[in-house]
Amino acid sequence: MTTNAAAVAAVRARTGGPDDDGPQLLEHVLGWVLVVVFAMLVTKVGLL
């Protein structure tokens, strides 16, 4: 890789995607809470 290509790769613009250093534990806990609430809703309504 040339020096110019390395400089361009280092200055790439962010596209608005998720950050790599976010609160992963909180996201996992909230995701599982959503799954459990959805499962309770499905069983309460009688869809399962």
Q: Is the pLDDT of residue 40 over 90?
A: yes
d(CA 1, CA 27): 37
What is the pTM assigned to this prediction?
0.52
CB 48 within 8 A of CB 42: yes
Q: Extract the tokens encoding 33.
A: 């809470």
d(CA 44, CA 11): 52
Q: Within its chain, how far is the Cα of 1 from the centroid?
A: 31
- The DSSP secondary-structure symbol of 23 reads -
Q: How many residues are there in the chain?
A: 48
Confidence of residue 47 (pLDDT cuts 50, 70, 90): confident
pLDDT in tens, 1-24: 566 666 666 677 777 766 666 678
Q: Is the pLDDT of residue 42 over 60?
A: yes
